[in-house]
Amino acid sequence: MYEYLKGIITEIMPDYIVLDVGGVGYKIFSPTPFAYQEGQPATVYLEQVVRDTGITLYGFQSADDKGLFLKLLSVSGIGPKSALAIMAAEDSNSLAEAIEQGEVKYLTRFPGVGKKTASQIVLDLKGKLGDFVQRVDQINDMKISPELNDALLALLALGYTKKEVDRITPKLAAASQTTADQYIKQGLALLLKK
C-alpha cells in the first residue's frame, strides 16, 4: 500500500498523470491532472484500488483531498471513477461544505450523481467532514504552507488532539521553517512545553 510518491511529472493527460520515481513511471489517475506541471517535481498522495480487472492508482495533491476521496468511496453506490468525477468538478472545501449542509440539489449537478445518490452521500457523510472543512478554512485564513499543513496532519496522527494542535498553529505559522520535518520538530517542542 502506498501513502505518497515523490518524483518528476513526465506526462499529463486529461484524466491521469505519469510520475517518474527512480526510473519507474507510475500511471496515476487524478481529479486535477492539469494542476501539475510537466517536468517538475511533485509529491502525489496515493490510494491503490485493487479490483478483478486490475490495480489502479489514484493520486491527489494533498492528504486532505485523499481523505475526501476515501470518504466518498465509503458511500454506497460511489466507485473510484465517480468519486474522481465529483472531486474534479468542485474544489474540496465547497464539496465538503455542501455535504455538511445537506445540499442534495447541489450534489446532483455532479456527473453520475442523481437525487438518490446525492441523498446517500449526505446520509453517509454529513457530520463526518466538519474537521476537514474547518482545517481547510483555517489553512486558507492563515495562509499556511503545504509543508506546515503536512506537519499539522502528522501531529494529529501522532495522537495530539485538534485543540492542542490548533493552539500551536499560529506560532508555527509565524516561524520561518521550510520543511515539514522542521515544523514537526518545532511543533513537538511547543506541545511538550506545559
**What is the value of pTM for the model shown?**
0.65
Task: List the CATH number of the domain containing 48.
Answer: 2.40.50.140
pLDDT tens per residue across span 35-71: 899 999 999 999 999 989 899 999 999 888 898 899 9
- Asked whether residue 122 falls in the same domain as residue 149, the answer is no
- How far apart CA 140 and CA 154 sit, in angstroms, is 19
Predicted pLDDT at 132: 64
- Asked whether residue 94 falls in the same domain as residue 113, the answer is yes
pLDDT below 50 — which residues of the chain? none
Q: How many structural domains is the chain composed of?
A: 3
- How far apart CA 46 and CA 77 sit, in angstroms, is 22
Predicted pLDDT at 191: 85
- Percent of the chain surpassing pLDDT 90: 38
Residue 172 lies in a domain: yes
Task: List the CATH number of the domain containing 82.
Answer: 1.10.150.20
Predicted pLDDT at 49: 93
- Residue 161 has φ and ψ, to the nearest 5°, of -75, 160
Residue 34 lies in a domain: yes
- Asked whether residue 153 falls in the same domain as residue 123, the answer is no
Query: Alpha helix locations (H) across the chain?
Result: 63-73, 80-89, 92-100, 104-107, 115-125, 130-142, 146-157, 162-174, 180-192
- Asked whether residue 90 falls in the same domain as residue 109, the answer is yes
Q: Which value, to the nearest 10 degrees, does the dihedral of the CA atoms of residues 167, 170, 171, 174 take?
A: 170
- 18 class by beta-carbon count within 10 Å (0-12 exposed, 13-18 middle, 19+ buried): middle
Range of the domain at 176: 143-192
- How far apart CA 88 and CA 127 sit, in angstroms, is 22
- Asked whether residue 53 falls in the same domain as residue 71, the answer is no
SS3 150: helix
Task: List the CATH number of the domain containing 156.
Answer: 1.10.8
- Residue 71 has a CB neighbour count (10 Å cut-off) of 19
- 115 class by beta-carbon count within 10 Å (0-12 exposed, 13-18 middle, 19+ buried): exposed
Predicted pLDDT at 26: 97
- Residue 94 has a CB neighbour count (10 Å cut-off) of 13
- How far apart CA 69 and CA 32 sit, in angstroms, is 13
Residue 134 lies in a domain: no
